[in-house]
Amino acid sequence: MKIVTYNLNGIRARLPRLVEYLDEQKPDVLCLQEIKCDDDAFPIMDVRAAGYDGLWHGQKGFNGVAILTPAAAPPTPRRVGLPGDPDDTHSRYLEAEVNGIVVASLYLPNGNPVGTEKFAYKLAWMDRLRAHAQELLAEEKPTILAGDWNVIPTDDPDDVFSARAMAHDALMQPESRQAFRRILNLGFTDAIRARTPEGQVYTFWDYTAGCWQRDAGFRIDHLLLSAQAADRLFDAGVDKDYRGREKASDHAPTWVEIEG
DNA sequence: ATGCCTCGCACAGCGAGA
């Protein structure tokens, strides 16, 4: 099973890229982030025309997540929204079960600028995610937390083109990394680093300043696997070439191959 | 120190992204 996370940066602007990806890669599960559309505006007819179906949790203009699967194997909904704060209005979390695997599509807050309420919201959201992830692990099922985590795990050039250039970014702060590690340390496996312990793996390249052309990227899209999912981990990688296509998202699809 | 591009919104620039 190929399970993919892809921050689209707008599903309408990216519809040709999305359909092309479904046709070419035929993912078994495609987790989307930043669809940036209301529930009513989700282009489900285009998705169905490509042979897929799914669940979505939209929001007008910002955020928004979805989980797509081949129409013959639809996802069973489990949860819309992250628990822990009834006042949170952002559409950033969607959870379903597909072929016995629990899959979450998550879009973690960016958190910039550091020192503002946006950064506090990021850390609070990560704390809620940790609490929920702990409950998921207690089910002892194969579980995959897939999404745009908006955290660069280390200063290593394998993870970021320039730690110095990004030093003051919310993606790089010690608090952001600690919150990420606290979730990892519950017992999850970072699939990309399990398969590529050393070596540059980037999933995002900024539109500005020629970042793509000079390969100035970083790694923020992650798939975290429970032990039962990690047992079945066959491979993990990034479909980097989609970042170089016309009207591309600034993220590349990031995937795991799970046995069975 | 800020903008660099790009999106959505709404029809002009602006908020947000990372």
Residue A249 has pLDDT above 90, yes or no: yes
**Residue A241: its pLDDT value, please?**
96
Determine the average pLDDT of the residues in A131-145.
98
Report the DSSP pairing between strands A221-225 and A143-148: antiparallel
Q: Is the CB of A90 under 7 A from strand B?
A: no
Q: Mean of the per-residue pLDDT values for chain A?
A: 97
pLDDT digit string, tens, across residues A49-85: 999 999 999 999 999 999 999 999 999 999 999 999 9
Q: Which domain holds residue A148?
A: 2-258
Report the distance from CA of residue A247 to the C1' of nucleotide B9 in Å, as an integer. Answer: 19
Report the distance from CA of residue A125 to the C1' of nucleotide B15 in Å, as an integer. Answer: 21
pLDDT band at A104 (very low <50, low <70, confident <90, very high): very high
Report the distance from CA of residue A182 to the C1' of nucleotide B17 in Å, as an integer. Answer: 25
Q: Is the CB of A167 under 7 A from strand B?
A: no
pLDDT digit string, tens, across residues A28-43: 999 999 999 999 999 9
CA distance A136 to A13: 34
- Residue percentage of chain A with pLDDT more than 70: 100
What total number of domains does chain A contain? Answer: 1
Q: Which residue has the higher pLDDT, A170 or A260?
A: A170
**Residue A159: its pLDDT value, please?**
97
Give the CATH number for residue A20.
3.60.10.10
**Residue A147: its pLDDT value, please?**
98
Chain B footprint bases within 7 A of protein beta carbons? 3-9, 15-18
Q: Is the CB of A118 under 7 A from strand B?
A: yes
CA distance A134 to A7: 25
Burial of A171 (0-12, 13-18, 19+ CB in 10 A): buried
Residue A260 has pLDDT above 90, yes or no: no
pTM for the model stands at 0.97
Closest residue (CA to C1') to nucleotide B7 in the complex? A10
